[in-house]
Amino acid sequence: MRIDILPNGPYKVSGGVPLSIVSIKRNEQKEAVGWTEERVLETSELYMLCRCGQSAKKPFCDGAHVKTGFNGTETASKAPFMENATTIKGDGITLYDNIKFCIGAEFCERKGTVWSLTQVDADAFGTTDPEEAADFVKRAQDTAIEEACLCPSGRLVMYRGDTAIEAQFDGPSIALIEDPVWKASCALWIRGEIPVFGADGQPYEVRNRVTLCRCGHSGNKPYCDGRHYSAEFNDGLLD
């Protein structure tokens, strides 16, 4: 399985990669809290996914990139994730945050934000009971870990000691992210360490999860940078 980025064109997906639609689940406060599996799409061993956002056959390419003169120049760095990640240390856990991968899904903002939850310690609870304090810290850390793993782009990666706590998937796959509450069609969610190769033939870092732009507006191509929201991109797949 692999994804090849064609110059100013679509994503060429090889190896029979499963393709589905998922939507961001939000609570009454519109906080992102989980995922809803919508449906699986029929594909073949090789298929082309639209990258310019103009195809009339979304999510598949119909050649619109040629008619519209799409500029798909890749501007993202191929440097490893850790090279530009900020380190946030907690009590036995460490959060690594590389903001260049942010797509604005907002899973990190619930219950005080993943950054503050990571740094919670027993003193913040204000009790002399060590068991109560330990339980308070554990609950905060469990939420921080959950939020980091829900982040689709892998902007946030949590470690316990030297071991990464990664999101778990049933296998390599691609999901089209939809945000029904905000009426936006979001990134391509690449799950399960599928290698992505640039138009120059060189690979990007293989990771547990990354998100690729499919609206054509990202300033960090091929990665999504959240501009589908301001562009009001909607593929109509959930209409």
pLDDT in tens, 91-107: 999 999 999 999 999 99
Q: What is the pLDDT of residue 125?
A: 67
Mean pLDDT calculated for residue range 117-122: 90
Tokens of 102: 């942010």
Mean pLDDT calculated for residue range 125-132: 76
Residue 126 clears pLDDT 80, i.e. is over it = no
Sheet of strand 173-179: strand arrangement: 32-41, 19-26, 173-179, 184-191, 209-212
Residue 127 clears pLDDT 70, i.e. is over it = no
Q: What is the pLDDT of residue 129?
A: 79
Q: What whole-number distance in Å separates Cα of residue 34 and Cα of residue 77?
A: 29
Q: What is the pLDDT of residue 226?
A: 98
- Tens of pLDDT, residue by residue over 44-59, are 999 999 999 999 999 9
CB-based contacts of 61, cutoff 8 Å, min separation 6: 9, 10, 48, 49, 50, 51, 55
Mean pLDDT calculated for residue range 196-217: 98
Residue 60 clears pLDDT 70, i.e. is over it = yes
Residue 223 clears pLDDT 80, i.e. is over it = yes
Q: What whole-number distance in Å separates Cα of residue 157 and Cα of residue 88?
A: 10
Residue 133 clears pLDDT 90, i.e. is over it = no
CB-based contacts of 220, cutoff 8 Å, min separation 6: 75, 76, 100, 213
Mean pLDDT calculated for residue range 202-216: 98
Sign of the alpha-carbon dihedral angle for 209, 215, 220, 226: negative
| Cβ-contact 170, 231 below 8 angstroms | no
Mean pLDDT calculated for residue range 180-197: 97
Closest to 144 in 3D by CA, of 160, 158, 133, 162 = 158
- What is the percentage of the chain residues whose pLDDT exceeds 90? 92
Closest to 111 in 3D by CA, of 101, 99, 120 = 120
Residue 28 clears pLDDT 80, i.e. is over it = yes
- What is the percentage of the chain residues whose pLDDT exceeds 70? 98
- Tens of pLDDT, residue by residue over 138-153, are 999 999 999 999 999 9
Give the pLDDT band (50/70/90) at residue 40.
very high
Give, in order, the Cα–Cα distances in Å from 69 to each of 48, 65, 116, 136, 179.
18, 6, 44, 55, 28
Give the pLDDT band (50/70/90) at residue 131.
confident
